[in-house]
Amino acid sequence: MIITRKCIEDDINNPFALEILYRNDKKSFSNIIEQMHDEATDIFAVNFWYARIFQKKKEQKEFFSYRQFGILIGLIALSWLPVKIYTLNINLNKDILIRIIPIVISFALSLFFYRNAFNLKKVLFTLLLYIVLSVYYIVLPINQESQSIANSFYFGLIILWFLVWTSYSSLRIREVGLLSDFILVTGETIIWSILFTIGGAVLVFLSINLFKTIGIDADKFYINNIVTLGLCAAPFISLLVMEMFDKTKLTAILSKIFLPLFFVSIVVFGLVSLFSDVKPYESRNIFIIYNIMLVIVICLLYFVSVNNSNRFIKLCSMALALFTIALDGVVLSANIYRITTYGATPNKVTLLIGNVIMLVNLIYIVFISKKYKDNALYSKKILYFLPAYAIFAIIVVFVFPTIFNFR
């Protein structure tokens, strides 16, 4: 069928007929719609079809502009710079530098989210927050044996996540919908970065061995340059890929697959551990494993909650939360036992408060899961607890080192 302008004009008020014409010959249909739109027509159907056909092409063209490409390269270079300096044999305090590296990478990620809607005041405010955190870590004493300082560094990563979130939301931190989107973006970025890292590792391994076959030892060069650059570039390339293929949601797929599997695994592990001679009360390694499992469960429940889950997945989430409450009770009692038996340390106190917060969070998840049957409302309400982790991280980072006298 030959598509002519008259065909479109005759069926301009028949959306079904226009859809058939478009599917029969997309190229001719698009050319005619573009021509009609250029004539400054005020026909709604023409404007609708022009937006449908050409807006995506326009966005893709802007997406691949030299400006966007230059910004991306600049942000990758910014995040790689302190890592590269760390690998050089120069007289610098590398203990301080390793504290600054995550902050620089986090700031570069914040700038990535500002690039399409640049606002100087918001960027300067974000920069000020990063400077405050950087100065604090610089003046913080260097003590390899200090648990409170080490915890301050680890929990600083949580603060950095929230700082990137403020940039993603353009400082609209009260909008829960944006927080839900950012959690999905975080999960997608992690998954894509892992995939790119695996692929890059294979290429690096092959390249190093190819050079060895001709008598060239390229191990040090690849590790200090290609590997470090690839690791720094992975999250930015992942975000770029996600913008290009925004309909591909790996987090939604994988979380729904692994949630039931993880539930079965954690139940089996919990039941078997009841009859095991190794308990978290005495074994430090088992105690750490229990805490890691709690963190994974909390993260998994949040990732699943912000996706449109079916009834089966929601039931699995409820069951996982209930079982993890029992697991958290065991960890909490083990923590109290270890404190009363071996004495309080910064690590034990931090874990104790963290366990209490996670226990309250799990109970809250179960409560709202029963109260709100609507998935959209449940996904919104579950996020209200997240600021508790930000407050706890701020306390661990800025208060605990002083309280524990930097022990």
Distance CA 16, CA 390 (A): 51
Q: Choose the final residue of a domain: 244, 264, 294.
A: 244
Claim to verify: residue 9 and residue 32 sit in the same structural domain: yes
What does the pLDDT read at residue 330? 82
pTM above 0.95, yes or no: no
- Ordered alpha helix ranges (H), 174-226: 176-213, 219-221
Condensed to tens digits (0 to 9), the pLDDT of residues 15-27 reads 878 887 787 777 7
Lowest-confidence region among 56-65, 291-300, 353-362: 56-65
Claim to verify: residue 112 and residue 217 sit in the same structural domain: yes
Q: Choose the final residue of a domain: 14, 37, 63.
A: 63
- 5 Cβ partners below 8 Å, 6+ apart? 32, 35, 36
Claim to verify: residue 362 and residue 325 sit in the same structural domain: yes
Number of domains in the chain: 3
Pick from 12, 19, 4: nearest CA to 42: 12
Q: Choose the final residue of a domain: 63, 86, 103.
A: 63
pLDDT at residue 386 tops 50: yes
What does the pLDDT read at residue 64? 54
Reduced to 3 DSSP states, what percent helix, strand and coil does the chain have, rounded to the nearest 5? 80, 0, 20
Claim to verify: residue 75 and residue 176 sit in the same structural domain: yes
CB contact at 8 A, 274 and 268? no
Claim to verify: residue 223 and residue 283 sit in the same structural domain: no
Question: How much is the mean pLDDT over the chain?
Answer: 83
pLDDT at residue 183 tops 60: yes
Claim to verify: residue 308 and residue 379 sit in the same structural domain: yes
What are the φ/ψ torsions at residue 115 (nearest 5 degrees)?
Answer: -65, -30
- Both tokens assigned to 252: 């939604």
Domain that holds residue 376: 250-403
- 374 Cβ partners below 8 Å, 6+ apart? none
Give the DSSP letter of residue 65.
-
CB contact at 8 A, 141 and 153? no
Pick from 315, 322, 314, 269: nearest CA to 292: 269
Claim to verify: residue 107 and residue 143 sit in the same structural domain: yes
In the chain, % of residues over pLDDT 90: 22
Claim to verify: residue 257 and residue 344 sit in the same structural domain: yes
Claim to verify: residue 395 and residue 356 sit in the same structural domain: yes
Claim to verify: residue 236 and residue 283 sit in the same structural domain: no
Claim to verify: residue 106 and residue 212 sit in the same structural domain: yes
Claim to verify: residue 37 and residue 104 sit in the same structural domain: no
